[in-house]
Amino acid sequence: MADQDKSKDQLIAEVLDLRRKAAALEESLDSTQSDDNQHAYNALKMEAIGRLAGGIAHDFNNILTAIQGNAELLQMDGFDQSERDDMLMQILAASRRATGLTRQLLDFARKGTFQIVAVDTTTIIEQTAALLSHSIDKRIDIKLDIQADPPAILADPSQIENALVNLGMNACDAMPDGGVLTLATRNIVLDDASCVDYPSEVVPGPYVEICVCDTGSGMDSKTRSRIFEPFFTTKDVGQGTGLGLASVYGCIKSHYGNIQVDSHPGRGTTFRLLLHAAETACASSDGAHDQSIMRGTGHVLVVDDEGIVREFLATALQKFGYSVSLCINGAEAVEYFKNSHRDIDLVILDLIMPVLNGPDTFRELKAIDPDVKVLISSGFSRNQSTNGLLDEGALGLLSKPFRISELAHALAKHLS
């Protein structure tokens, strides 16, 4: 049976089984380093990854069902404005879930790296609360207790938002009959003495502590000791992949922060994240769409082989006031640019395209006009290829899926 024909439940059960077999083989590898065992282990690992991809595809199909279904409903008559707003929120919530999934996968593949900037924890907490409020049981009350002032941390905003959404979803899952989810922040300064209470990698300095606290089922010590293991889940087959907390843990560790959990059966759970405070002020929030800031003028050439991305960019850029030309691959873009480069103010260039890929297109555009302004748009955050192009003179990187406000700010920055 092809993987795509299997139910997600079956796939997850198979992945778990393969993982158990791989773990057993890994143990035996410690004692016997035979080539046969090594091959069997690698084959199992590859198979597990393949199955995992199948499982993720199923998750995506659910997400796409929500996006497509709500969008189609929006095309119909007979809904009032608040019902339409709800559908829009469902589309945004589903899109965020998909973003979270791809980021987790990219981290898994170690293809994504961080963009560390000053991040406003207040904004991130508010965005997380808004996002959760649309997708959780209405009997769960979300409370904010924001004390951190200054609120800025040094972090990758999307990674932190994903971590908080993961923690928030877990908290909600632990409260099937309702309860209170509290998201709190406060400033903490650690000196040498207080660092003793933390693992050795936590160094003295200013931090912001983010707490995600629920009044749910809580955990016994056995569960608590395993929660950060990849694929560890107590949820029914098909209900959880067990990757949520493993990715939260990875995220916090790569920010040189700390994560602690306090939980007891029947007494709820509190996760405490400790993240380095930022000395610089936060960049302005990208949550609210201030349409006056987004507006600009100029002629933008969009080069992307994905029709849906081209169409979206054309609509958004025209809405901001830019004129737009579209090319479906690098070769077409180079031809177009030869004749029209004097009229083009900026190029948004996809990296992975057939015929002529992004990096080669970039070089050919530069050969025609050494001062060409190019923003790279890529499904990966920074990696070797994007770093190389930034070194060669590309202005910046838009990591897909980017927010409308990120797009507008990037254009305003380079076209004002």
Ligand X SMILES: Nc1ncnc2c1ncn2[C@@H]1O[C@H](COP(=O)(O)OP(=O)(O)OP(=O)(O)O)[C@@H](O)[C@H]1O
**Binding interface with ligand X (CB under 6 A):** 166, 170-171, 174, 214, 216-217, 219, 223, 227, 232-235, 240-246, 269
Does residue 162 bind Mg ion (CB under 5 A)? no
For residues 244 and 358, which CB has a smaller minimum distance to Mg ion in the complex? 244
Helices 121-135 & 81-108 angle (0-180, nearest 10): 120
For residues 187 and 223, which CB has a smaller minimum distance to ligand X in the complex? 223
Q: By C-alpha distance, which of 373, 400, 409, 402 is closest to 389?
A: 373
For residues 122 and 241, which CB has a smaller minimum distance to ligand X in the complex? 241
Helices 358-368 & 384-391 angle (0-180, nearest 10): 10
Binding mask 277-296 for Mg ion (x = CB under 5 A): --------------------
For residues 152 and 160, which CB has a smaller minimum distance to ligand X in the complex? 160
Binding mask 204-243 for Mg ion (x = CB under 5 A): ----------------------------------------
The piece of 11-19, 67-75, 170-178, 375-383 that touches Mg ion (CB under 5 A) is 170-178
CB of residue 121 to ligand X, shortest distance in Å: 20
Q: By the 8 A CB rule, do 172 and 140 touch?
A: yes
The interface partner of residue 235, options being Mg ion, ligand X, none and the CB cut-off 5 to 8 Å by kind, is ligand X
d(CA 131, CA 410): 25
CB of residue 61 to ligand X, shortest distance in Å: 16
For residues 185 and 217, which CB has a smaller minimum distance to ligand X in the complex? 217
Q: What is the dihedral of CA 49, 52, 57, 60, to 10 degrees?
A: -120
Q: Residue 49: is it exposed, middle or buried by C-beta count within 10 angstroms (0-12/13-18/19+)?
A: middle
For residues 90 and 104, which CB has a smaller minimum distance to Mg ion in the complex? 104
Structure tokens at 20: 């158990």
CB of residue 270 to ligand X, shortest distance in Å: 9
Structure tokens at 170: 């877990």
Q: By C-alpha distance, which of 29, 156, 165, 157 is closest to 92?
A: 165
Q: Coil, strand, or helix at residue 218?
A: coil
Among 244, 250, 268, 359, binds Mg ion (CB under 5 A): 244
Residue type (1 letter), 358:
G
The residues pairing with 117 across neighbouring beta strands, listed in sequence order, are 155
Does residue 170 bind Mg ion (CB under 5 A)? yes
Binding site for Mg ion (CB under 5 A): 170, 244
